[in-house]
Structure formats: C-alpha cells, structure tokens
C-alpha cells in the first residue's frame, strides 16, 4: 500500500474555493457588501454634523459606548474596525489576483474589447487605488490626527471635521475620493449581485437602477459635509 506524501495532499475546500476564480469573485462580492453596509451607516452618522456640535460630538461618543456595559468602552468600535480591515484586505487581494489572472489569460493579440466592460474595469481598478489611498489619509486625518489641519481635538469630532474641510486640499481629496466611491459602487453593486446569483433577465434593470441610485445617494450624502463647511452651513 502506497503512503501519501506531502505532494499528494489535496488542498482544503476553503483553499480550493479561494484559488478558484468564482471563489475570488464571491469573496469580492461579500466583502464589498459588508463595506457597503458600513458606508450607509457612516453616511447617516456624518449627516448629524448638520444638527450642530452637541449632537455630532454626542454621536462620536455614542459609537464608542455601544454595547456597554457588556462590552468595554470602544470594544464594539474596534470589532467593527477589525471586520472592516479584514473586508478591505480580502476585497483588495481578490481584486488584484483576479486582475493578474485575467492579464495572464488574455491572448497576446486581443482582437476587440467591449468598450463598456473595458471602461468599467479601468474605473474599478483606479477607483480602488484612489479609495485605498484615501482610507489611509482619512484615518490619519480624523482618527489619529497625524495629518490633521488646525490641531486635532480628541473627543471633538465636530471641530475636527470643520478644521479638515476648512482647507482647500482637504476638500479636494475628500470630494475626489467620494466621486471615485460613487463610480465604484455603481459598477461593484451590480457585479456583486451577478456573482451572488441575484441577477437575471428580469432583474438586471432593477439592479442597475438600484446601483445608480445607491451610488448617487452615498456620493451626495458624503459630499454634503464638505460642501456644508465650505458654504458656512456647518461652522
């Protein structure tokens, strides 16, 4: 009887799913939906800035006390952060590997590309890079305060937001990133629905409309904050 060697071992089911193109697309879809749910909640929270410093600062304190007394101070927030970091890393890794795999599989002489799909691919790729860089800047600006303008104030998110969007570069970085986010959601939401089997001839139009509306709503909601500071509505 022959003994199995290390080279004869079959990969685990989890590894086999991850190594497959379908598995990577599923990881992208699920991680993308996790981030989308967070973005909706984050946008709603951001809009509280229009109700004044008292309510917005109270909201900033509340998200650190969610789950008390069962959860210690900031534990729930850190759980959310860990889940988001895992989702971002999984999403970015799967996207990069799928891009590399697609490049290797493409023939040397590609006869003709579909203009729509090619535009969507480029938009998703560069949009992802822009958003990745923005996340780093956003954390250093409004979470740790390392690149914050005007002096970072711990526990006073309203003042920090006003300071950040009182600079021209803060507004440019944020608005460009939010426009990239809108395009990313517009293409990504529909792609995720297709990957997870929600698409179909009768549902594609509904899904595309939902993707457009969701992208528009989130972009407008996020951009409203710097515009509010620039126009003096938030001050």
Per-residue model confidence as pLDDT tens for the chain (235 residues) = 455 555 556 668 888 888 888 889 999 999 999 999 999 999 999 999 999 999 999 999 999 999 999 999 999 999 999 999 999 999 999 988 988 876 665 555 444 555 555 566 677 888 889 999 999 999 999 999 999 988 899 989 999 999 999 999 999 999 999 999 999 999 888 888 888 887 677 788 888 889 999 999 999 999 999 999 999 999 8
Closest CA to 230 of 168, 153, 179: 168
Tell the residue number behind the tokens 């490049």, with chain if given: 103
Give the CA diameter of the chain.
Answer: 81
**End-to-end CA gap in the chain:** 79
In whole angstroms, give the CA distance from residue 116 to residue 119: 5
21 CA to centre of own chain: 21
Burial class (CB in 10 A: 0-12, 13-18, 19+), 15: exposed
In whole angstroms, give the CA distance from residue 225 to residue 169: 15
Q: What is the pTM of this model?
A: 0.87
Give per-residue burial for 163-196: e unless 16+ CB within 10 Å, then b: bbbeeeebbebbbebbbbbbbbbbbbbbbbbbbe
């Amino acid at each position: 009887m022959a003994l199995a060697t290390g080279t004869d071992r079959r990969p685990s089911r989890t590894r086999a799913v991850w190594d497959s193109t379908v598995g990577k697309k599923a990881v992208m879809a699920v991680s993308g939906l996790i981030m989308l749910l967070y973005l909706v909640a984050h946008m709603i929270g951001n809009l509280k800035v229009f109700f004044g410093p008292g309510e917005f600062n109270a909201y900033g304190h509340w998200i650190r006390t969610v789950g008390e007394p069962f959860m210690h101070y900031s534990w729930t927030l850190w759980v959310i952060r860990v889940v988001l970091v895992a989702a971002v890393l999984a999403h970015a890794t799967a996207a990069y590997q799928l891009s590399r795999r697609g490049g290797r599989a493409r023939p040397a002489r590609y006869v003709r590309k579909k203009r729509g799909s090619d535009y969507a691919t480029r938009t998703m790729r560069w949009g992802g890079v822009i958003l990745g860089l923005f996340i780093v800047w956003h954390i250093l600006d409004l979470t740790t305060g390392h690149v914050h303008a005007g002096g970072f104030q711990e526990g006073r998110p309203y003042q920090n937001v006003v300071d950040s969007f009182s600079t021209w570069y803060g507004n440019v970085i944020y608005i460009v990133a939010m426009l990239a986010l809108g395009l990313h959601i517009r293409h990504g939401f529909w792609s995720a629905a297709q990957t997870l089997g929600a698409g179909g001839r009768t549902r594609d139009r509904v899904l595309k409309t939902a993707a457009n509306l969701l992208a528009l709503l989130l972009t407008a909601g996020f951009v409203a904050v710097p515009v509010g500071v620039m126009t003096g509505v938030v001050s």
